[in-house]
Structure 1
């Protein structure tokens, strides 16, 4: 059984909970089920490490430890890969990208960034009451961080929080998702066994108890909360953290639109749209789940997308030929199926898919045509391989439809005229955007959303600065 990491020690718990393999529905293993007392102990350890050690001020130590962590992740990549495939249901091919190999490089990126990052800014002198005053700004670590991650990309989400927080000099309590605890606990074991990160600087928990999450978001010794998950949960965390005015960073849901202009290459649109919606079975907050197309080309585009979907392989995620794996659990699959069935009842056309496949928690690639932009399936985050095709009547109408959402995480646009495409992209309120299939996702590129898709940014320089405080100094020049 994997173990919790609390104050530098790998420990068990008095209870455990099952982690399932979503491709089979069978028990993969058990995770120690941390108690409220253990969560409080983890927070206390992080507080002590921040307040009484040199971690927050020793830049070279932090660089060295981040490089050790990167090395450990690379050297143990094969075992992490197999665990990610089995517990997350991530197809093997995806672990060579966003599920594992790319997240590992986030750690190296922040080690490199930290070495050259200026923690001091000179503001020069000003004259006040006839005397010169020298002023400067110093960056300091923000404090103790509670980092809570979702199940869909646990390596990416954990390292995109952990690496910049550590680079900034913060101490961290990291909590894995109840559906994928083993992957996150494996990270804690690597930290304990293969790095010189001091006791208490990183603590890693797994728990099925809601009260543990409440400790991490309300404890007075926690300074910063960073959370990835649903918008509904994000709202609750923001409210809970408000009693102590914690800094809160939220990476939440999305209902991103891919806008097709009337001069777009339809073959490219069909391929990109079909494979994007089926990436990790649609369990990605930034996936473009609405395809907004010219009304006069609606049927033609639907036919081509359906053709591409028919070529997508789904099944055993361990098979290197599999493109799409399962949904995470039966509850999520039932939610997806319910949204599809209600969409059809409301007037959408089910072109292909809409079927549960056993064993495991598979759901066939699903295409809905003629979707009303105000309907439930066009407004609610599905988190499954379901693409809703919505007709538009020109660029202005397409922009209106794309912005008709409480979310603003991502988006895309296709056009033969790049200037026209960029002009449309600039009118859509979202934190990231793809032009003709461009890939923005990289450790140096800030990621986050507008509106109810979240607050703050992960990765890039912006991701480091989320965990820093600015202190302004002034002294009278003699």
Structure 2
């Protein structure tokens, strides 16, 4: 797909940078290859190209052309799906089974949904005639693209998050500068290569700048030529992005952290619910902001729930991400493994204990691995029970009924996701009281191109995906025309 090192995409040209940085296989710790190490000058050139493409071409007004280019990009990604699958498993440590869903195939298909939406969207709304202050006026509302979008993305689900920003932003008529995380530059570079080689996207409409320098993200957020910053990552970094964007009062979309609760009611099938919670909690080594990592179970069945959770987690890995049966693969890096181990140490200091796991697997001395871990005995207000760990680590907490479960679940600075298992009527009632952006009831799956995703409180601002996510990339203009 590309020669080593992977290139930048700047103003329609695949470009080698002056230097390169390494990308690692997290399952082995070995070097996979290299990616262009973009500089501040490269980022400046990317923003300039995006600004020029928006201001001086017909991209922003030609809906049919935009839809055609998006479908071309979708089809190119599908043609190279086998290569991309292997790349994603190797670079992101993604379990193979997930590449047939949210790690690759699903977000690629979603590009078609956004192309369809652009074609069917009501770009103009007629408000009819009115006579304010006795002056007859025909009025209409027009939706227009924001302009230049700076997209800053993390490493955990690189294709899904890259395409969830690039797809609707381009469909809406914007131009984009994509700055991916340095842990997964190849996934983003592959997008740039296919866009350049196999689509009719005009120069500057999509630019991809890989770099080992996190400062380039800050540069993108601060650049006055950028009209909107779309960022997915930690809440701490989201605050910095918001502060940087405030200098020009540019718009921001922020999809940030989570510490989501999985509530098991006292009339639920405890074995089924806890088994599902264990599976969901350590999929992709728990490296998902919306993963439910606080398991709330009825106090009178706490010990039984712990046994079920521990037994299930013991069967889930960790395993080689190349294996079709693997659920929990490696964590992305030594830095992330060390961070998780810091929380495991903290859990013991806070009075917790490990029902299963609690460290590195003894049979894996290469790569970056943490055992699926279940922590018991913590107070709901402890740091380990409240802070995002971003690893295969679950905390199980007792509750004293529906009201108490809702109180514990909502007692969090986050509000990204959640799950409830129980009789349908009670589960729906509990779900309605959760202060969170998405909720799964009895195993329901909320992911989809047409479903808006985002959080309450410190989990972010705005929504990604769905019509709401598309409209994040639009401005609203009111036009009134005098009638004689």
| Structure 2 counterpart of 1:341 | 345
| Structure 1 counterpart of 2:381 | 374
| Structure 1 counterpart of 2:481 | 475
Task: Work out the CA distance in 2 between the residues paired with 1:367 and 1:229.
Answer: 25
| Structure 2 counterpart of 1:211 | 215
SS of corresponding position for 1:28: strand
Task: Give the CA deviation at 1:313.
Answer: 3.2
CA deviation vs aligned residue, 1:422-455 (integer Å, no higher than 9, x gap) = 1111111000000011100011100000000001
Task: Work out the CA distance in 2 between the residues paired with 1:338 and 1:236.
Answer: 24
In the TM superposition, 1:276-291 aligns within 5 A as 276-291=280-295
| Structure 2 counterpart of 1:222 | 226
| Structure 2 counterpart of 1:449 | 455
| Structure 2 counterpart of 1:426 | 432
Task: Give the CA deviation at 1:338.
Answer: 1.5
| Structure 1 counterpart of 2:268 | 264
In the TM superposition, 1:8-157 aligns within 5 A as 8-157=12-161
* Structure 2 unaligned residues grouped into runs of 5+: none
Task: Work out the CA distance in 2 between the residues paired with 1:108 and 1:344.
Answer: 48
Task: Work out the CA distance in 2 between the residues paired with 1:128 and 1:452.
Answer: 42
Would the aligned equivalents of 2:340 and 2:390 in 1 still touch at CA under 8 Å? yes
| Structure 1 counterpart of 2:187 | 183
Task: Give the CA deviation at 1:132.
Answer: 2.1
Task: Give the CA deviation at 1:345.
Answer: 2.3
Residue 400 (structure 1) aligned with residue 407 (structure 2):
yes
SS of corresponding position for 2:225: coil
Task: Work out the CA distance in 1 between the residues paired with 2:178 and 2:244.
Answer: 18
Residue 411 (structure 1) aligned with residue 415 (structure 2):
no
Task: Give the CA deviation at 1:257.
Answer: 0.4
User: For 1:352, which of 351, 356, 377 is the aligned residue?
Assistant: 356
| Structure 1 counterpart of 2:252 | 248
Would the aligned equivalents of 2:352 and 2:376 in 1 still touch at CA under 8 Å? yes
350-359 vs 52-61, greater mean Cα deviation: 350-359
CA deviation vs aligned residue, 1:99-148 (integer Å, no higher than 9, x gap) = 00111111011011111111001111111233321100001010000001
Task: Give the CA deviation at 1:319.
Answer: 1.6
Task: Work out the CA distance in 2 between the residues paired with 1:285 and 1:304.
Answer: 24
Would the aligned equivalents of 2:328 and 2:392 in 1 still touch at CA under 8 Å? no
| Structure 2 counterpart of 1:237 | 241
In the TM superposition, 1:153-164 aligns within 5 A as 153-164=157-168
| Structure 2 counterpart of 1:388 | 395
Task: Work out the CA distance in 2 between the residues paired with 1:269 and 1:335.
Answer: 29
Name the TM-score, length of structure 2 as normaliser: 0.97
CA deviation vs aligned residue, 1:243-273 (integer Å, no higher than 9, x gap) = 0001000011000001111111112112211
Would the aligned equivalents of 1:315 and 1:362 in 2 still touch at CA under 8 Å? no
Residue 192 (structure 1) aligned with residue 200 (structure 2):
no
Give runs of ≥4 in structure 1 deviating > 6 Å.
none
| Structure 1 counterpart of 2:472 | 466
CA deviation vs aligned residue, 1:302-336 (integer Å, no higher than 9, x gap) = 11111111221322211222221100011111111
Task: Work out the CA distance in 2 between the residues paired with 1:129 and 1:279.
Answer: 61
Would the aligned equivalents of 2:317 and 2:371 in 1 still touch at CA under 8 Å? no
| Structure 2 counterpart of 1:2 | 6
SS of corresponding position for 1:139: strand
Would the aligned equivalents of 1:313 and 1:321 in 2 still touch at CA under 8 Å? no
Name the TM-score, length of structure 1 as normaliser: 0.99
Task: Work out the CA distance in 1 between the residues paired with 2:471 and 2:62.
Answer: 17
Task: Give the CA deviation at 1:371.
Answer: 2.1
Task: Work out the CA distance in 1 between the residues paired with 2:176 and 2:163.
Answer: 12
Task: Work out the CA distance in 2 between the residues paired with 1:379 and 1:314.
Answer: 24
Task: Work out the CA distance in 2 between the residues paired with 1:55 and 1:397.
Answer: 53
User: For 1:307, which of 304, 308, 311 is the aligned residue?
Assistant: 311
Would the aligned equivalents of 1:370 and 1:391 in 2 still touch at CA under 8 Å? no
* Structure 1 unaligned residues grouped into runs of 5+: none
Task: Work out the CA distance in 2 between the residues paired with 1:86 and 1:130.
Answer: 68
Task: Give the CA deviation at 1:68.
Answer: 0.4
Task: Give the CA deviation at 1:370.
Answer: 2.5
User: For 1:201, which of 201, 205, 220 is the aligned residue?
Assistant: 205
